[in-house]
């Protein structure tokens, strides 16, 4: 669920978009509850509930397999920094009877069983999201005067950024994407820019969490 802080960040993101004069005609979000609620809060702040929202499983956060649900800090301490990062880069698959199996809940509803990932590397996530970008989102961007807002997790957004820009994977993996900070993408020249107070200091490397 979306935390109280997350709700505040959603409202602040809406205000930043409004201040920059950035408008959009459609919202795409993952099927996770926190991104759906973020969409609602943002549109409420903008008084724009007439803007359609599309929930897409292709925008779900990266599947970390057997690492899903584990405490990051405790697991890093137990495994050691090097081993932990190796497992995050190429995680072991999730057990079939795991309570975190996304196919059991609304997150996996509508996903063909053969496409439901049991684990994903960074590159796997890029390969999962790019067909949706090319077939669904990009055509909308090419319509005259159309723009969209994508709301998803940091790990999904990093994988998408690799697919739509020339940013190398080794830099994208460590790219800092602060919660609630809108990022504007220009499909004509493939450039990204932060919206708001961090505009002059972004992009930057993320700190370890």
Residues 108 and 57: beta-carbon distance below 8 Å? yes
- C-alpha radius of gyration, the chain, whole number: 17
pLDDT above 80 for 145: no
pTM for the model stands at 0.89
User: What would the DSSP string read from start to end of 47-71?
Assistant: T-TTS-EEE-GGGSPP--GGGTTS-
Give 174-197 pLDDT, tens digit per residue.
899 999 999 999 988 888 999 999
- The pLDDT tens digits of the residues spanning 156-179 come to 999 999 999 999 999 998 899 999
Structure tokens at 74: 């405790």
Give the pair of three-digit tokens for residue 63: 């599947």
d(CA 145, CA 132): 21
The pairs formed by 82-89 with CB atoms below 8 angstroms and a separation of 24 or more are 88/64, 89/121, 89/122, 89/173
Mean pLDDT, range 69-78, rounded to an integer = 86
């Amino acid at each position: 669920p979306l935390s109280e802080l997350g709700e505040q960040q959603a409202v602040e993101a809406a205000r930043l978009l409004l201040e920059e004069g950035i408008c959009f005609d459609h919202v795409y979000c993952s099927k996770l509850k926190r991104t759906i609620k973020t969409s609602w809060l943002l549109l409420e702040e903008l008084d724009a509930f007439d803007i359609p929202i599309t929930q897409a499983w292709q925008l779900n956060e990266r599947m970390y397999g057997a690492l899903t649900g584990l405490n990051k800090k405790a697991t890093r301490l137990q495994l050691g920094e090097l081993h932990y990062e190796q497992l995050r880069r190429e995680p072991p698959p999730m057990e079939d009877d795991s309570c975190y199996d996304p196919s059991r809940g609304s997150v996996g509803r509508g996903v063909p069983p053969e496409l439901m990932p049991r684990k994903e590397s960074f590159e796997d996530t890029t390969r999962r999201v790019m067909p949706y970008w090319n077939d669904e989102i990009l055509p909308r961007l090419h319509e005259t005067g159309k723009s969209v807002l994508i709301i998803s997790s940091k790990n999904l957004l990093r994988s998408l950024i690799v697919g739509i820009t020339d940013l190398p994977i080794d830099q994208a993996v460590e790219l800092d994407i602060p919660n609630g900070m809108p990022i504007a993408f220009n499909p004509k020249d493939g450039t990204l820019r932060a919206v708001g107070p961090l505009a002059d200091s972004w992009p930057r490397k993320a700190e370890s969490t």
